[in-house]
Copies of this chain bind each other. A is one copy, B any other.
């Protein structure tokens, strides 16, 4: 399977098509035979595994443990929390039967009508209901709290328009579900996990994010507050990259989960839930990659360094093999994942293009002249800059270079984003600016009515009410750009994925 790089659409021509092609050409994922479901290919899954490992470590460092709850949820559970069912009913995959049988008319296998379930089961779109139905039996007293549980799982939402990683019917995610004795503790937990997500995005994915709280209209179905991290893609659109919800006592009330508090009184339990998914892969790809292919942050790249030999004879190859073996060993000693690709059925040019499209952060090339001179060519994927260096101490140089690349792509994404955050005061200006992409800070009167009108007229939504200040005066009160009613502070609008 040849990598036909020249076929990759340029970002400036068609950003959306560039993304779709890149995901496939870089061997991350592909559409499956099942509508809306993707196959995550080994190279894509290797990145996801690195994300999982790091997130899992961060969850455990903040006191969480993993558990596993059922894939299927009784239909009646979904209905218990009114807003929750409203939010998910229209995209539920429904199991109605539990057996197939041979078609009496000889047409292969058919669903056995006698094996119809009394109550239909839903493939989990999210697990609040089944988990809170379980917690009911785990919680009696304040001594049983907090419960700090996370689950790594697949979930299913029957989306009509799907795109690899960004929006798929089945996706992989983690969902944390915690139970607390007090409102304050639950609210702290929701913010703590948002911060974990923010740290992960910035330090590992090298994706700058804006942390904030969602407007009522954009809240998770059943939450009192939804916190979010919002990233800006290279087309200026927002990608919601992770959310953390303060659920209040809604699910505890729906599933009757009460506990005896320290004052010996019965009280409903306070809850949070929080999740990130394979959608992060989309954020990773769209933040850093370029017209040559993926650009992966070294902290998540499955292969951090690739070494390619250029040789004129088998004898020369053997000499290079020997020389490179030492470099490989020393790189591995430094904890760097390195691949030496001396396969002789592919030309160096093909390998260069392949690792470039796959976003390997550092490429080392050794040829005959290098062998003589004790040198090696170093290319960094982010800038495509090449230089020839001595092999002495190359491993420490590469280690430092990886950190440099990590910092550089973060800074580049941050500069890009910050340059595209603007502030507007009038709705007319807003309508003009929103066409250019980017995040717009504007005053809003706090009503869902106004929010929906803006969405209807401009396709922009409120991404969040940010915690931090991005432009001078953000946090000062003003007047809604649409209605002129009072507004306590500016909020961030953008078109989004």
Contact = CB atoms under 8 A, between A and B. Distances in A.
Interface residues of A, number: 67
Contacts of A121: 34, 93
A92 interface: yes
Contact of A46 (B65, B89, B91, B102): B65
B69 A32 contact: yes
B42 A109 contact: no
A200 interface: no
A54 interface: no
B33 A133 contact: yes
A266 interface: no
Interface stretch (A71-79, A178-186, A399-407, A421-429): A71-79
A342 interface: no
A111 B98 contact: no
B1 A71 contact: no
Contacts of A149: 42
A66 B78 contact: no
A32 B65 contact: no
Interface in A344-398: 345
A94 interface: yes
A97 B95 CA distance: 7
A40 interface: yes
A172 interface: yes
A42 B69 contact: no
A173 to B, nearest CB: 12
Contacts of A41: 67
Given A85-B109, A98-B93, A33 B74 contact: yes
Q: Which of A68, A74, A111 has the most CB of B within 10 A?
A: A68
A96 B67 contact: no
A99 B95 contact: no
Q: Which 9 A-B pairs have the closest CB atoms?
A: A37-B70, A42-B65, A40-B68, A89-B100, A94-B97, A98-B158, A79-B108, A96-B96, A34-B70
9 contacts: A34-B73, A45-B68, A46-B66, A85-B100, A85-B108, A89-B101, A89-B102, A94-B96, A99-B158
